[in-house]
Structure 1
Amino acid sequence: MSEIKKEYIEKVRPKLQKDLKIKNLMAAPKLTKIVVNMGLGEAVKDKAIIAEFESQLIAIVGQKPRKNRARKSVAGFNLREGQVIGLSVTLRGQRMYDFFEKFIRIVLPRMRDFRGVPLKNFDGQGNYSIGISEQIVFSEVDYSKVKKVKGLEITFVTTAKKDKNAKKLLELLGMPFE
C-alpha cells in the first residue's frame, strides 16, 4: 500500500468525515481516478512523433496510453478522420496513488516559478484539472532524448459533489494550493 493511500485511510478520511459532518465514513470524498492527456496536433504533419511521445508517456505514468483519433476530417487543419491527435491514460488503484505521490512530492517542486497550483481549476463537480507546460519536469523523461517539449493535462477525479469538498480532500492529501 502506498504512503498516500495509507495516509488517506488513517488520517485524511476521518478528518474529512469530522470536518464535513458526514455520518458514514465510506461517504467521505475520495480520489477515484487520474486522467493524463497529451494533445498531439503536430502529429498530423509528422507521424514519427506519436511513437516518441507515447514512449515518454509510458515512462511517466507506467501504463500504455490510448490513442485518441479524430472523429471528423477538418480541411483547415489538414486533419483526416481516424488520424491520431492525442494520447490519454486513465490511472486507478495503486498506480493512481503512486502517480499522485510522485506528482505532488517530486514534479510540482521541480516546476519553474512554482508557488502552488491555482484554485480556479475546479470544474464545479468536484474534479480538478491542471496543465503542465513541459513533460521534462518528470524525472523519467531523459532531457537529452527529447526532440520537442510538449505539455500535458492531468485531471484528478474525486467522489466529492462540491468543489470545496474536493479542495479539502486534495489539500489534506498534500496538494499545494496558492
Structure 2
Amino acid sequence: PLGCKVTLRGNKMYEFMERLINIAIPRERDFRGLSPKSFDGQGNYNFGIKEQIIFPEIKFDNVDTIRGMDICINTSATNKEGAKALLEVLEFPFKK
C-alpha cells in the first residue's frame, strides 16, 4: 500500500483545481460527471479517481502500476448546499 496526503492553498490550489476540472477529469474513461451526493454536510466534497495517468504531467511510460487517488476539497462553506454552489461557480462537472 502507498499513501500520501498533500494540502494545497493559494495559487497552487487554484492551479491544481483548474487542471483538475479542465484537463484531468475530462480525460477519465467513461466520465459522465461527478456525483453531487459526495458532500459531507460540513462544506467538504470527496471523490476518487481510478487512474493517476489522467494528469498530463504523469507520463504513462514511467508508470509501473496504475493507481487511483482520493481527493477531498475543503471549502469555507459550512454546509453541503453552500459547498455545492461554490464548486458549481468553479465549473465542477457534476452529473445533471
Q: TM class by shorter-chain length?
A: over 0.9
2:21 to 100, 104, 109: 104
User: Aligned residue for 2:90?
Assistant: 173
Work out whether 1:159 is the aligned partner of 2:76.
yes
Structure 1 gaps, min length 5: 1-40, 42-84
Deviations 1:115-171 (A, max 9, x none): 110011101101001100110111011101110111111111011111011001100
Question: SS of 1:91's equivalent?
Answer: coil
Question: SS of 1:88's equivalent?
Answer: coil
Amino acid at match of 2:22: R
The structure 1 segments of at least 4 consecutive aligned residues displaced by more than 3 Å after TM superposition are: none
Superposition TM-score, scaled by structure 1 size: 0.52
Pairwise CA distance, 1:86: 1.4
Question: SS of 2:6's equivalent?
Answer: strand
Identity %: 49
Work out whether 1:144 is the aligned partner of 2:75.
no
- Calculate the aligned-residue CA RMSD, in Å: 0.8
Superposition TM-score, scaled by structure 2 size: 0.95
Greater C-alpha radius of gyration: 1
Higher relative contact order (CA 8 A, sep 6+): 2
Please give the residue correspondences for 1:116-127 in structure 2 after superposition, counting only pairs within 5 Å: 116-127=33-44
Structure 2 gaps, min length 5: none
Task: Count how many residue pairs are aligned between Structure 1 and Structure 2.
Answer: 95
CA distance in 1, matches of 2:4, 2:77: 27
CA distance in 1, matches of 2:6, 2:79: 25
Question: SS of 1:167's equivalent?
Answer: helix
Instruction: Please identify which structure carries the higher strand content.
Output: 1
CA distance in 1, matches of 2:16, 2:74: 14
User: Aligned residue for 1:93?
Assistant: 10
Pairwise CA distance, 1:172: 0.9
